[in-house]
Amino acid sequence: MPEQTTGPRPTLEAVAARVGVSRATASRVVNGGAGVRPPLVEKVRRAVDELGYVPNHAARTLVTRRNGAVAVIIAEPEFRIFSDPFFEQQVRGISRELTAHDAQLVLLWVEGPGDHDRIARYLGGGHVDGALAFSLHNDDALPAVIDRTRIPVVYGGRPAPGTSPAVPFVDCDNRGGAREAVRHLVDLGRRNIAHISGPDDQTSALDRLHGYRDVLVDADPTLLSRGDFTEESGARAMAELLDRRPDVDAVFVANDLMASGALLTLRERGVRVPEDVAVVGFDDMASVVRRTSPSLTTVHQDIEDMGRLMVKLLMRLLDGTGPVPPASVITPTSLVLRDSA
Amino acid sequence: MPEQTTGPRPTLEAVAARVGVSRATASRVVNGGAGVRPPLVEKVRRAVDELGYVPNHAARTLVTRRNGAVAVIIAEPEFRIFSDPFFEQQVRGISRELTAHDAQLVLLWVEGPGDHDRIARYLGGGHVDGALAFSLHNDDALPAVIDRTRIPVVYGGRPAPGTSPAVPFVDCDNRGGAREAVRHLVDLGRRNIAHISGPDDQTSALDRLHGYRDVLVDADPTLLSRGDFTEESGARAMAELLDRRPDVDAVFVANDLMASGALLTLRERGVRVPEDVAVVGFDDMASVVRRTSPSLTTVHQDIEDMGRLMVKLLMRLLDGTGPVPPASVITPTSLVLRDSA
DNA sequence: GTTCGTTCTGGGAGCGCTCTCAGAGGGTGG
DNA sequence: CCACCCTCTGAGAGCGCTCCCAGAACGAAC
């Protein structure tokens, strides 16, 4: 129980004085106690407890040039990115890993280009050791802004090809996962396998499309339809597909939400799943997968783990450990078989 | 365009040297320029731009004892509190207002009592000037932990009666809003007005129940049913109500999500809304209200504004402006008439 | 021309910490 | 018993900034 419950917070000086050692020794104990004799360590530790000493963060940062904080940059274009379950999981992973590294999460919410200046100033001002950002749209100017601050950064999701070459990122194996999904449909004996893709300004959507094409090299363009990752767009894309190609017998959908929409359309039209049309999604998003009927076969990715990996990568960057330019991480995906395919 | 694009960041000293003034004068300019002759101000400003000088946050904090950061404490009991649209709006309001005050948002994610120690240490360590927290469950030990750090804090939502007396909070007028909703149903000529309440360990649920009772002082207990703020629980509660009191002709539901569930049950049973049973919700949550059929009459509260108010209150606390003990804010609600009542 | 007042500027201390470097202390071997 | 080495500790500088206070500069009033 700290005895000094009021007044100014005790300093390291106070701790040292109480024990009768120098500030340097007290500092050593507070920072792990290496090179200090055990009995002294014990005495200092006790003094710390008794006084309720907590290191002054600003003073420490001033000399170490490290402040134990990482910015998470959340750009909100038109959507409610924050309440997206995908995001929630990723941020949870980030938060947990950051805690494990004794680092703090500073949330930087970017609402538009008007905020870029503020963000640049903040990142450049040394408030944080590094930053985590997410690649959302290929035409976003934000990556360039972040890059200019020369602060270490790790992206969630592969950035657009145009951006600076050595930006480390963490992404799941979108292309490989897509391949596996499509191959599964091929193995099922399906002949006319369609694809509902996501917006073409997002690398994840593009990569999944590429995966589809890897397997079905000369797929007919009429088997392709585009959505925008929303449920409604999936329903619409499925309807178009059905109109254009009534002989379609399978569809690989670029995410679960659109797959859910596609399933709705199929049911409406009296098409049986998986008997008439097999459906495979992507993401394995619990909230969606659970409530579709039939339950959705989909490509699983461990989103929380991707968040953790982002932090690990950043920490390695900050430590100076790890390769330069830093390597990115592609996490594996796995096909989860349920009833829809 | 800063000319020093590499190497160590320029210090105030460098700026001063470039202009040929003292560090003190340069500091004055950087902090507003009061008491410095205009031409000198101009020269220093230019030097700041040319060198790309950004004040060192740690050094500034060390002497001012203010660090321009506020913790937002998010406790996650069993639910996905993060992806709750309610939360998103509130945090958005907080973020915007914080930005307006040039303050940063540090996210503290509490996953359980095991984190309390860490949180207490962080808050007590002077990393942040103040904190914002949300009152979730009355039995939560977190408020006590926060209180013990003696850090200024403002709550979102009225804390449980048991907690320390002078905790400032921002909450909407749950009770008044409920009264208005129920009065509307009375004015519609409804006789058997039921209430589906929320969990009784949350003050918002309790307050709304009180509002209902304020108007219907001797309402029959059989007209009361309890849910847990989820859609499913609303559906279930409505079913119970219908079984118990087939003569029910109106229901005030403690939140929109449960109201949506209730509407589902009513439709299933072939009960017409609003002809047979009028329904009023609470929250005016865009994502819910939009998709119910019929569209939901509900009590509106400005959640984003509540977030902003939390920050304003905290800032006043930090400035030493404002009353002591600090006053809480109850924001007004308004009934939004749509088709369900 | 002297004195007083007002406005501006600079010197310097100090915020609380880390870290280098030198030296104290104590053990070991010859 | 002395020289030497290794381990542990303390003195002190310095991180970049703010702010107090003394003093410079200049004008106005006598």
The per-residue pLDDT for B79 is: 45
Instruction: Convert the pLDDT of each residue in B16-56 to its tens digit.
Output: 998 888 888 999 999 887 788 888 889 899 999 988 888 98
Instruction: Answer whether A95 sits within 8 Å of B109, measured CB to CB.
Output: yes
pLDDT of residue B313: 93
| Statement: residue A4 has pLDDT above 50 | no
CATH architecture for residues A69-172+305-332? 3-Layer(aba) Sandwich (3.40)
- Chain A contact residues (CB < 8 Å to B): 9, 52, 54-59, 61-62, 67, 69, 72, 80, 82-85, 87-88, 91-92, 95-96, 99, 104-109, 111, 115, 118, 121-122, 124-127
Query: Does the CB of B44 fall within 7 Å of any strand C atom?
Result: no
Give CA–CA dist A48/A30, Å, rounded: 8
| Predicted pLDDT at B301 | 95
Chain C footprint bases within 7 A of protein beta carbons: 7-12, 14-20
Omega prior to B246 cis, within 30 of 0: no
Instruction: Give mean pLDDT, residues B312-341.
Output: 87
Contacts of A338 by beta carbon, 8 Å cutoff, 6+ apart = A289, A294, A295, A296, A297, A298
* CA closest to B66 among chain A residues: A58
State the pLDDT at residue A142: 86
> CATH classification of A12-55, choosing from 3.30.450.40, 1.20.1250.20, 1.10.260.40, 3.30.800.10?
1.10.260.40
- Could you tell me the two tokens for B326? 């600090």
Output the 3-class SS for chain B: CCCCCCCCCCCHHHHHHHHCCCHHHHHHHHCCCCCCCHHHHHHHHHHHHHHCCCCCHHHHHHHHCCCCEEEEEEECCCCCCCCCHHHHHHHHHHHHHHHHCCCEEEEEEECCHHHHHHHHHHHHCCCCCEEEEECCCCCCCHHHHHHHCCCCEEEECCCCCCCCCCCCEEEECHHHHHHHHHHHHHHCCCCCEEEEECCCCCHHHHHHHHHHHHHCCCCCHHHEEECCCCHHHHHHHHHHHHHHCCCCCEEEECCHHHHHHHHHHHHHCCCCCCCCCEEEEEECCHHHHCCCCCCCEEEECCHHHHHHHHHHHHHHHHHCCCCCCCCCEEECCEEECCCCC
Residues above pLDDT 90, as percent of chain A:
52
DSSP tag of A162: T
Within this chain, domains A12-55 and A69-172+305-332 share the same CATH topology: no
pLDDT reading at A80 higher than 60: no
Name which of A203-217, B130-144, B323-337 the model is least confident about. B130-144
End-to-end CA distance of chain B: 61
Residue B2: pLDDT band with limits 50, 70, 90: very low
* A59/A37 Cα distance (integer angstroms): 26
Residue type, A277: V
**Cβ contacts of residue A33 below 8 Å, gap of 6+?**
A41, A44, A45
Look over chain B and give the mean of its residue pLDDT values, rounded to a whole number: 88
Mean pLDDT, rounded, for A84-102: 85
Triad A207, A213, A219: Cα angle to 5° = 145
Poorest-pLDDT segment among A267-281, B61-75, B236-250: B61-75
Nucleotides of D under 7 A from a protein CB: 7-20
Nearest by CB: B107 against A61, A62, A107 = A107
pLDDT higher than threshold 90 for residue B322: no
Cβ-nearest to B85 among A80, A118, A122:
A80
The pLDDT score that the predictor gives to residue A84 is 66
Using the beta-carbon criterion (under 8 Å), do A124 and B54 form an inter-chain contact? Answer: yes
Cβ pairs A/B, distance under 8 A: 104
Residue A323 banded pLDDT, cuts 50, 70, 90: low
Please tell me which residue of chain B has the smallest CA distance to A68.
B127
A23 in contact with nucleic chain C (CB within 7 A): yes
Strand, coil or helix: A38: helix
Chain B's closest residue to A10, CA to CA, is: B125
What confidence score (pLDDT) does residue A92 get?
87
Chain A environment of B99 (Cβ under 8 Å): 109, 115, 118
Could you tell me the two tokens for A113?
């280009």
Cα(A53)–Cα(A14) distance, integer angstroms = 9
Q: Could you identify the residue whose CA is nearest to the C1' atom of nucleotide D10?
A: A22
Please give, rounded to a whole number of angstroms, the shortest distance from the CA of A94 to a CA of chain B. Answer: 11
Give chain A's mean pLDDT: 88
Please give the average per-residue pLDDT across B255-283, as a whole number: 95
Closest partner residue to B91 (CB to CB) among A62, A82, A125 is: A82
pLDDT band at A124 (very low <50, low <70, confident <90, very high): confident
Residues with CB under 7 A from strand D: A 20-25, 28, 35-37, 40, 59, 62-63; B 8-9, 11-13, 23-24, 27, 30-31, 53, 55-56, 59-60, 62-64
Alpha-carbon Rg for chain B, nearest whole angstrom, is 26
Nearest-angstrom CA–CA distance, A12 and A27:
7
Whole-number Å distance between alpha carbons of B72 and B78? 19
pLDDT for A140 equals 76
Distances (CA, A) of A16 to A26, A29, A41, A307, B62: 6, 10, 11, 41, 20
Q: Which nucleotide is nearest to B53 (CA to C1')?
A: D16
Across the range B163-168, mean pLDDT stands at: 73
pLDDT (0 to 100) of residue A160: 82
Which tens digit of pLDDT belongs to each residue from A236-268? 999 999 999 999 999 999 999 999 999 999 999
Taking the domain B69-172+305-331, which CATH number applies?
3.40.50.2300
Q: From the list B61, B104, B125, which residue is nearest A106 (CB)?
A: B104
* Percentage of chain B lying above the pLDDT 90 cut: 51
- Give me the residue spans of the domains in chain B: 12-55, 69-172+305-331, 174-300
Distance in Å from the first CA to the final CA of chain A: 61
Residue B238 pLDDT: 98
Q: Are A314 and A274 in contact (CB under 8 A)?
A: no
* pLDDT band, residue A79 (cuts 50/70/90): very low
Class of domain A174-300: alpha beta
| Count, residues in chain B | 341
